[in-house]
């Protein structure tokens, strides 16, 4: 069985149509009423629970009509996970490698000419790429890992709606990409309350410390106006609930087995906040981005497809 046939078989066997199941209380999100499934419906947000990172992505991308909804033949794709920390996958400090691998596979099957993966790591980038499991997994899937540890990789851009952040040095790989997938891990963060999609964008810029010195939440919201991801995929499989962003041990982690996808990164972050157990309005950069018109945090008014696997 080749990879394309495997993906088709996996998709046909794991989709739960209707998304009308009740999932129990997880941050007040899964127990919310779900929209009835409709053929051809365009979802504002797709949320999946109960499977492995790869199987959940198979289901969620199918709900969007498949990867060809986003990737045209010959496209250059950038996938931006969190690979900031020299810790193994079970610690929840980085995006799960199984999810990143599956995204790369779907992109290549859709006809992408290349799929590039990178992050401006906080620990040694070589060790982060190695011990997160992402480097080896991406290369085996046919993707390309690139470094982000030198200022020479970055180019200055203007931030269109910036209030505290008017310009930034952005990695050339993102500037050259036709398609951009933001793939954060959901986790605790000592400075921003939590990490999800907007906070993950700090890994595409050079001078992150400027953000910390100049109103971190406003800078996060500001930079989000530069380039909106074509799709945000929030990894909530292993969720670090304390001692973030690096964590101390596996005791910091809850095995939530969830995933959130949206073309609206503010909505993705709002749903991630609910999964984490806080109100979106309590996370200042989410509230600021919504007020700036960058996306929506009013989940109760959005079309949400909730899927349960198993």
Q: Say if 265 falls within a structural domain.
A: yes
Q: Say if 39 falls within a structural domain.
A: no
Distance of alpha carbon 233 from the chain centroid: 4
In the structure encoding, which two tokens stand for residue 64, read together? 């969007």
Q: Say if 295 falls within a structural domain.
A: yes
**Exposed, middle or buried, 272 (CB in 10 Å: 0-12/13-18/19+)?**
buried
> 158: domain range?
65-299
- CATH number reported for the structural domain that contains residue 192 in this entry: 3.40.50
Give the number of C-alpha atoms closer than 13 A to the C-alpha of residue 129, restricted to the C-beta side. Answer: 18
pLDDT in tens, 176-205: 999 999 999 999 998 999 999 999 999 999
The average pLDDT across 113-127 equals 97
In the structure encoding, which two tokens stand for residue 220, read together? 């996060």
Residue with tokens 């995204």: 103
Q: Say if 198 falls within a structural domain.
A: yes
Residue 42 pLDDT grade (very low, low, confident, very high; cuts 50, 70, 90): confident
pLDDT in tens, 62-89: 999 999 999 999 999 999 999 999 999 9
Q: Say if 83 falls within a structural domain.
A: yes
Between CA 226 and CA 229 the distance in angstroms is 10
Give the number of C-alpha atoms closer than 13 A to the C-alpha of residue 137, restricted to the C-beta side. Answer: 24
Q: How far lies 37's CA from each of 26, 172, 215, in Å?
A: 22, 40, 41
List the one residue out of 129, 106, 114, 261 whose CA is nearest residue 186: 261
pLDDT in tens, 2-35: 444 434 443 333 333 323 222 333 445 655 555 5
Between CA 23 and CA 27 the distance in angstroms is 11
- Asked if the model's pLDDT at residue 139 lies above 60, the reply is yes
Q: Say if 99 falls within a structural domain.
A: yes
pLDDT: which is higher, 235 or 14? 235
In the structure encoding, which two tokens stand for residue 193, read together? 């309350």
pTM above 0.75, yes or no: yes
| Residue 16, number of CB atoms within 10 A of its CB | 17
State whether residue 73 is helix, strand or coil.
Answer: coil
Q: Say if 148 falls within a structural domain.
A: yes
Q: Say if 246 falls within a structural domain.
A: yes
In the structure encoding, which two tokens stand for residue 67, read together? 């990867």
Residue 162 pLDDT grade (very low, low, confident, very high; cuts 50, 70, 90): very high
Distance of alpha carbon 188 from the chain centroid: 15
In the structure encoding, which two tokens stand for residue 109, read together? 């099957």
Q: Considering its fold, how many domains does the chain have in total? A: 1
List the one residue out of 21, 7, 18, 29 whose CA is nearest residue 236: 29
List the one residue out of 96, 85, 83, 197 whose CA is nearest residue 146: 83
């Amino acid at each position: 069985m080749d990879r394309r046939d495997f993906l088709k078989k996996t998709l046909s066997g794991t989709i739960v149509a209707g998304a009308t199941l009740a999932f129990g209380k997880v941050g007040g999100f899964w127990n919310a009423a779900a929209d009835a499934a409709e053929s051809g419906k365009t979802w504002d947000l797709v949320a999946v629970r109960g499977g492995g990172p790869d199987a959940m992505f198979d289901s969620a991308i199918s709900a969007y009509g498949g990867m060809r909804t986003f990737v045209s033949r010959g496209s250059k794709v950038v996938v931006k996970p969190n690979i900031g920390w020299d810790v193994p996958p079970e610690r929840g400090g980085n995006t799960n490698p199984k999810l990143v691998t599956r995204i790369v596979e779907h992109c290549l099957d859709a006809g992408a000419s290349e799929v590039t993966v990178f992050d401006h790591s906080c620990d040694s980038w070589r060790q982060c790429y190695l011990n997160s499991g992402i480097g080896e997994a991406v290369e085996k899937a046919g993707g390309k890992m690139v470094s982000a540890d030198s200022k020479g990789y970055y180019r200055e851009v203007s931030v269109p709606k910036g209030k505290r952040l008017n310009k930034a040095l952005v990695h050339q790989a993102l500037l050259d990409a036709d398609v951009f997938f933001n793939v954060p891990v959901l986790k605790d963060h000592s400075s921003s309350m939590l990490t999800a999609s907007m906070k993950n964008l700090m890994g595409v810029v050079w001078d992150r410390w400027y953000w910390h010195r100049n109103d971190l939440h406003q800078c996060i919201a500001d930079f989000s106006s530069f380039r909106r991801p074509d799709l945000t995929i929030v990894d909530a499989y292993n969720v670090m609930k304390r001692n973030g962003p690096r964590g101390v041990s596996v005791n910091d982690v809850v095995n939530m087995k969830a995933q959130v996808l949206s073309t609206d990164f503010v909505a993705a972050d709002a749903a991630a906040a609910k999964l984490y157990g806080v109100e979106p309005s309590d996370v200042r950069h989410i509230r600021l981005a919504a007020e700036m018109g960058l996306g929506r945090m009013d989940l109760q008014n959005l079309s949400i497809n909730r899927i349960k696997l198993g």
